[in-house]
Amino acid sequence: MAEAGKAERTTGRSGAGRYHHGNLKAALRDAAERILIERGVAEVGLREVARAVGVSHAAPYRHYENREALLADIAAGGFERLRTRMAAVSAPSPQERVAMIATSYVGFAMDEPAIFRLMFGPELAKPAHPQLKIAADATFAMVREAMIDFGVPPPATIEAIASWALVHGYATLLLDDRLAEHAGDLDPAEMMRRAGEIFVAGVSAKIAEAGDK
């Protein structure tokens, strides 16, 4: 890989995506994200990313075994950003925190639709990429912990999956512009708030029912 090492030490060609020095892996990942966002996942390839950064075609292989490894790194970063957004939620009660985490999930999907679709799309098998699986599992664990704080008995797996299915389905319908077919002029944010209230009310009722037994 001498050619790849030389490519890392040289400046790239002119343009916004050229590589000068420092962290080549980060530069490759950033260029791949730009291509993904602007042109779609099918256009992301190691040769194309190397061209965008301004290094040799061999250089990316110092950091990524193949195209799928590059996509997995992007998806893992998406899960980390989603988890950071969810962790930043501040609410006066566990019930409201669950609802606000749901809203933050939908907000992430709307802000980063291309990354969101990659994270949950068919291009990647999470078990094949440990870093991606760890990032995804940590994000799901945060949802499960929120449900336990709410009062659901551990491990709260079913309830966490139910809440995830609700918000993920809503986010997907919103991204695919399918809600207007049935909701008309209803505000999407208001719809998400109401859906969250319905879910929280149902979980609260189940918790109370279990406590009465």
Do 6 and 94 fall into the same domain? no
- Which residues, 6+ apart, have CB-to-CB distance to 91 below 8 Å? 97, 99, 100
pLDDT at site 24: 95
Q: What is the pTM of this model?
A: 0.86
Same domain, 33 and 121: no
Classify the phi-psi angles of 152: left when phi > 0, otherwise alpha if psi is within -120 to 50, otherwise beta.
beta
Decide: 110 and 171 in contact? Cβ < 8 Å: yes
Specify whether 114 is located in the same domain as 42: no
Task: Report the CATH number that the domain containing residue 145 is assigned in CATH.
Answer: 1.10.357.10
Last residue of a domain, one of 42, 64, 86: 64
The answer to whether residues 128 and 31 belong to one domain is: no
Q: Are residues 111 and 24 in the same domain?
A: no
Exposed/middle/buried for residue 94 (C-beta within 10 Å: 0-12, 13-18, 19+) = middle
205 and 132 assigned to the same domain: yes
Using one digit for the tens of pLDDT, what is the confidence trace for 69-126? 999 999 999 999 999 999 999 999 999 999 999 999 999 999 999 999 999 999 999 9
The residue segments making up the domain with residue 122 are: 68-212
Query: Is residue 188 domain-shared with residue 115, that is, in the same domain?
Result: yes
